[in-house]
């Protein structure tokens, strides 16, 4: 079976490659702005978007296993997505690095011809380090917050912004590999 990653995320591509999967990248054309964040639980929002992305690509590749994913940050029940600009990134950074928050990745695995539709989500709690004003300013200046849910991307186990996590590190990186491997073993 051909595997398709319905995402342009370099991190997701890297995680799949490191796990030894052979796959093709076909980014979905789903407009995330069309999915309102009000009156929906963060986990349901992430799953809804992941399924929309997987279905978009699976429609063109019905015989392939298509993986759609979406990562959001849950701060006290509120969905924190990607920052709109540097000012928004600073606001988000100050908020998230003041107390623990959750990173949720929704995954949808779809194969139209085999009638496979799996929709799951993984949640990891991130315990941040308190950042100084100069660290925040440097973070915003670096631009690494662009196109990142929560305005940051955890690097590895020794991330300078994170004290510790409870849950999957690869989930915080954008694709919970343990969960994905579990479902791949049942369908591949």
Query: d(Cα 94, Cα 136) in Å, to the nearest integer?
Result: 8
Query: d(Cα 111, Cα 131) in Å, to the nearest integer?
Result: 44
Active site residues: 70
Residue 99 DSSP symbol: S
What residues form DSSP beta bridges with 146? none
Residue 119 DSSP symbol: E
Query: d(Cα 168, Cα 132) in Å, to the nearest integer?
Result: 27
- In angstroms, the Cα distances linking 64 to 9, 55, 109, 131, 154 are 19, 11, 10, 44, 30
């Amino acid at each position: 079976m051909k595997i398709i990653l319905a995402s342009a995320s370099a991190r997701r591509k890297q995680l799949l490659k490191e796990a030894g999967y052979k796959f093709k990248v076909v980014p979905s054309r789903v407009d995330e702005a069309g999915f309102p964040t009000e009156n929906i639980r963060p986990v349901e929002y992430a799953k809804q978007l992941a399924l929309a992305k997987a279905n978009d690509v699976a429609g063109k590749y019905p015989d392939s296993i298509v993986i759609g994913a979406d990562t959001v940050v849950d701060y006290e029940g509120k969905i924190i997505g990607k920052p709109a600009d540097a000012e928004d990134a600073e606001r988000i950074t100050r908020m998230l690095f003041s107390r623990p928050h959750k990173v949720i990745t929704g995954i949808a695995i779809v194969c139209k011809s085999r009638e496979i539709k799996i929709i799951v989500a993984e949640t990891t709690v991130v315990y941040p380090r308190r950042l100084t004003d100069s660290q925040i300013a440097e973070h915003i200046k670096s631009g690494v917050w662009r196109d990142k849910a929560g305005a940051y991307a955890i690097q590895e186990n020794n991330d300078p912004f994170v004290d510790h996590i409870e849950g999957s590190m690869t989930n915080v990186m954008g694709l919970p590999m343990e969960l994905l491997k579990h479902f791949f073993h049942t369908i591949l």
